[in-house]
Amino acid sequence: MTKNGSQKLEKVMRTSKWIFAVALLTAMSAAAQQAADSQPVAQPAAPDTKPTAQPTQPADQSQPAQQPPATAQPAQAQQAPVPPPVAAAPTTMDQVVNLFIEHEHGLIKALSTRTPVVETYLQNLTADPQLGPVPSEDHYFLGRMDMGENIDRKDYLKEQEKSMQSRLLGGFQKLYKVQYQPLGFSWMIYADRTDFDREHYDFRYVRREFLGDVRCLVFDVTPKKKSGTGRFLGRIWVEDQGFNIVRLNGTYYPAPRNSDFFHMDSWRLNLIPGYWVPSFIYSEEGDFSAGAKNRIAFKAQTRIWGYDLKKGAKDDELTQIRVDSVTDETPTTQDASPLQAERVWQQQAEDNVVERLTSGGLLAPEGDVDRILQTVVNNLQVTNNIDLPRPVRTRVLLTSPLETFSVGNTIVISRGLVDVLPDEASLAAVLAHELAHIVLGHNLGSKYAFNDRMLFSDDSTYQNLGFRHIPEEEEAADKKAVEFLKNSPYAQKLDNVGLFLKALQQRAPNLNALLTTHLGNPLATNGTVNRLSALATQGPALDNAKLDQIAALPLGGRVKVNPWDDKAEMVKTAPVAITSARDKMPFEVTPFFPRLARIGANAAPAAAPTTAANNPNTGN
CB of 174 or CB of 468, closer to Zn ion: 468
CB of 203 or CB of 405, closer to Zn ion: 405
Least CB distance from residue 501 to Zn ion, whole Å? Answer: 15
SS3 of 154, please?
A: strand
Least CB distance from residue 434 to Zn ion, whole Å? Answer: 7
Least CB distance from residue 398 to Zn ion, whole Å? Answer: 20
Answer whether the bond into residue 254 is a cis peptide, omega within 30°: yes
Does 521 contact Zn ion by CB under 5 A? yes
CB of 363 or CB of 407, closer to Zn ion: 407
Which span sits near Zn ion by CB under 5 A: 67-75, 105-113, 233-241, 466-474?
466-474
SS3 of 131, please?
A: coil
Least CB distance from residue 80 to Zn ion, whole Å? Answer: 39
Q: Which of residues 475-494 bind Zn ion (CB under 5 A)?
A: 477
Least CB distance from residue 401 to Zn ion, whole Å? Answer: 15
Sheet holding 132-146, edge to edge: 152-155, 132-146, 117-128, 298-305, 275-285, 264-272, 245-253, 231-239, 214-223, 201-211
**Cα-based distances in Å from 161 to 122, 152, 181:** 14, 16, 10
Least CB distance from residue 473 to Zn ion, whole Å? Answer: 7
Least CB distance from residue 349 to Zn ion, whole Å? Answer: 17
Do the bridges between strand 264-272 and strand 393-397 make them parallel or antiparallel, or are there none, so unpaired?
Answer: unpaired
Which span sits near Zn ion by CB under 5 A: 468-476, 504-512, 577-585, 609-617?
468-476
Which span sits near Zn ion by CB under 5 A: 21-29, 33-41, 465-473, 490-498?
465-473
Contact 119, 139 (CB under 8 A): no
Query: How far apart are the C-alpha atoms of 495 and 241, rounded to whole Å?
Result: 51
CB of 23 or CB of 430, closer to Zn ion: 430
Does 406 contact Zn ion by CB under 5 A? no
Does 517 contact Zn ion by CB under 5 A? no
**Cα-based distances in Å from 28 to 35, 166, 177, 222:** 10, 14, 9, 30
Minimal CB distance residue for Zn ion: 521
CB of 193 or CB of 480, closer to Zn ion: 480
What is the Cα gyration radius of the chain? Answer: 26
Least CB distance from residue 437 to Zn ion, whole Å? Answer: 5
b/e code 223-245 from CB counts within 10 Å (16+ = b): beeebbbbbbbbbbbbbeebbbb
CB of 24 or CB of 436, closer to Zn ion: 436
Number of residues that bind Zn ion (CB under 5 A): 4
Query: How far apart are the C-alpha atoms of 47 and 106, rounded to whole Å?
Result: 18
Query: How far apart are the C-alpha atoms of 211 and 596, rounded to whole Å?
Result: 6
Least CB distance from residue 119 to Zn ion, whole Å? Answer: 24
CB of 154 or CB of 469, closer to Zn ion: 469
SS3 of 616, please?
A: coil
CB of 429 or CB of 542, closer to Zn ion: 429
CB of 264 or CB of 465, closer to Zn ion: 465
SS3 of 140, please?
A: strand
Least CB distance from residue 433 to Zn ion, whole Å? Answer: 5
Which span sits near Zn ion by CB under 5 A: 155-163, 182-190, 261-269, 517-525?
517-525
Which span sits near Zn ion by CB under 5 A: 44-52, 158-166, 201-209, 473-481?
473-481
Query: How far apart are the C-alpha atoms of 77 and 75, rounded to whole Å?
Result: 7
Contact 579, 536 (CB under 8 A): no
CB of 469 or CB of 598, closer to Zn ion: 469
Query: How far apart are the C-alpha atoms of 12 and 38, rounded to whole Å?
Result: 9
**Cα-based distances in Å from 300 to 23, 180, 284, 297, 437:** 15, 10, 6, 10, 34
Which span sits near Zn ion by CB under 5 A: 201-209, 212-220, 343-351, 471-479?
471-479
Which span sits near Zn ion by CB under 5 A: 72-80, 125-133, 482-490, 516-524?
516-524
Q: Provide the binding-site residues for Zn ion, judged by CB under 5 A.
A: 469, 474, 477, 521
